[in-house]
Amino acid sequence: MKNLCFTTCTFPFLFGFIICSESCSKSGGGYNNPPSSTPSASINNVSKDRGTTSSVYEFQVSLSAKATSDATIHYTTVEGTAKEGADFTSASGTITISAGETKATIDITVTGDSLRKLNQLFYVQLDAPKNCTLKTSKGTGTIVNENSLYFPVDNTGYTTADSYPGYTLAWADEFDGNTVNTSNWTYEQGGNGWGNNELENYTDRKQNSFVSNGNLIIEARSESYNGGQYTSARMITKNKKTFEYGRVDIRAKLPKTKGIWPALWMLGNNIDAVGWPACGEIDIMELLGQEPSKMYNTIHFGSSVATHGSYGTNYSLTGESFDEKFHVFSMDWKEDSIKMFVDDNQVFACNKSVVGQPYPFNSDFFFIFNIAVGGNWPGSPDGSTVFPQRMIVDYIRVFQK
């Protein structure tokens, strides 16, 4: 191989002569070449829905370049909000990335659980690298509990009779199964503001509605979804379970926070033909989350939006709020008259003469259960708003003569 030589000369003035020296190296990687670079190692983050049985979270350790010789790295698990033994199996050891390879995996076992709760974190810590350096030394494991389908609820609160003299049970949903009964309910979906400049996207996902332990749970979340910041659920019985007159009981526990708007209400089943408000609207319960002790009863009517009218009242609890325990929101609906109750206490009464224009409430209506986020009435969430928020419905019962 050809040698490359260089001559360097100096001229010391004191002695009056020139001193020269020569250095040589081999081309193509011989002398004086810098050492090859050491690859760096990184570990990824892992996020998975928690299952009801144990599952494996697979962390991947990757080198920035192929190892020229075996690279070893020590690892150990570290608790966060997730705890060793209860939530994951602790582990430690040493992984080897063989020469010529770039990857190795670390498997961590996460224990099974079905409880819907806050997500939990644990970590895989890397140290003591050999034949590599550490670029990212800690991987985060996120145990996603927020989509689990078991949510126990304190059953404390008011309950109503399961029968009334002179009435028979025409329909009920006790939410005793494992899923929402789609023979009763349809999901309305989308994020179009729903006529009130609301902010949520309504979905049919289990994240936003599910049945657990004898209750329907509608959950509003702060999350990016289809271009919006919030999600929730809106369920209707339109064209499936419609009623004209009767005694209605809905046992529910309500959410509490700024910008949240839960409702248990009804619309005329002829809405597609005549529009709103000509179809009529009956709000059995509405609540603004920033006023958690006060609920509203309202009816809406009018032959057109231009002639829209409403009549309503409100009712407040003393020394407590509607999120603390169950209450029963009821309606006694007869021809030409509507009365509403909270825990069997009458809070609203209206009849045909009060409306003073075409009266839409002597026809078939369907039910709507939903939580809106934001909108003209409650306003938007702010820094005080807490998510997720849940409306829990124990039962709906319709009695007719």
Looking up residue 392, the CATH number of its domain turns out to be: 2.60.120.200
Share the mean pLDDT of the chain. Answer: 93
The verdict on residue 211 lying in a domain is yes
Tell me the average pLDDT across 135-160: 97
- Residues 51, 22 share a domain: no
* Mean pLDDT of all residues in 303-328: 97
Same domain (yes/no): 308, 259: yes
Residues 389 and 362 occupy one common structural domain: yes
Residue type, 369: F
Position 150 in a domain: no
Buried b (16+ CB within 10 A) or exposed e, 17-37: eeeeeeeeeeeeeeeeeeeee
Q: Which two tokens stand for residue 28?
A: 């193509």
Question: Is pLDDT larger for residue 361 or for residue 20?
Answer: 361
Same domain, 244 and 372: yes
Residue 74 in domain: yes
Domain ranges, residue 110: 40-144
In order of 201, 220, 222, 312, the CA distances from 372 in angstroms are 9, 8, 12, 20
* Residues 13-43 pLDDT 10s: 434 444 454 444 444 444 444 445 899 999 9
Same domain, 224 and 109: no
Whether 26 maps to a domain, the answer reads yes
Q: Note whether 115 and 195 are same-domain residues.
A: no
One domain, residues 199 and 246 = yes
pLDDT by residue (tens digit) across 237-253?
999 999 999 999 999 99
- Contact (CB, 8 A) for 115 and 151: yes
Residue 387 has pLDDT above 50, yes or no: yes
What is the separation of C-alpha 388 from the centre of its chain, rounded to a whole number of angstroms?
6
Q: Examine the domain organization and report whether 335 and 292 are in the same domain.
A: yes
Q: What is the dihedral of CA 57, 62, 66, 70, to 10 degrees?
A: -70
Domain co-membership, 380 together with 252? yes
Q: What is the mean pLDDT of residues 168-185?
A: 97
H or E stretch including 352? Answer: helix 352-355
**Neighbouring residues of 282: CB distance < 8 A, sequence distance ≥ 6:** 265, 266, 267, 299, 331, 333, 338, 361, 365
One-letter amino acid for residue 241 of the chain: K
Q: What is the dihedral of CA 287, 216, 232, 189, to 10 degrees?
A: -110
Nearest one of 194, 195, 186, 201 to 366, comparing CA atoms: 186
Q: For residue 156, is it within any domain? A: no
160 located within any domain? no
Dist CA 198 CA 204 (whole Å): 18
CA atoms within 13 A on the CB side of 107: 4
Tell me the per-residue pLDDT of 260-298, one tens digit each, with 9 for 90 and over: 999 999 999 999 999 999 999 999 999 999 999 999 999
- Would you say residue 90 has pLDDT above 60? yes
CATH of the domain at 95: 2.60.40.2030
pLDDT in tens, 42-85: 999 999 999 999 999 999 999 999 989 999 999 999 999 999 99
Distances (CA, A) of 33 to 2, 30, 218, 341: 16, 7, 67, 89
Q: Kindly state the helix (H) or strand (E) to which residue 355 belongs, with its residue range.
A: helix 352-355
Catalytic residue IDs: 281, 286
266 and 377 share one domain: yes
Number of domains in the chain: 3
Residues 233 and 308 in one domain: yes
Same domain as 47, residue 23: no
308 located within any domain: yes
Q: In Å, how far are 26, 54, 132, 199 from 98, measured between CA atoms?
A: 32, 30, 12, 52
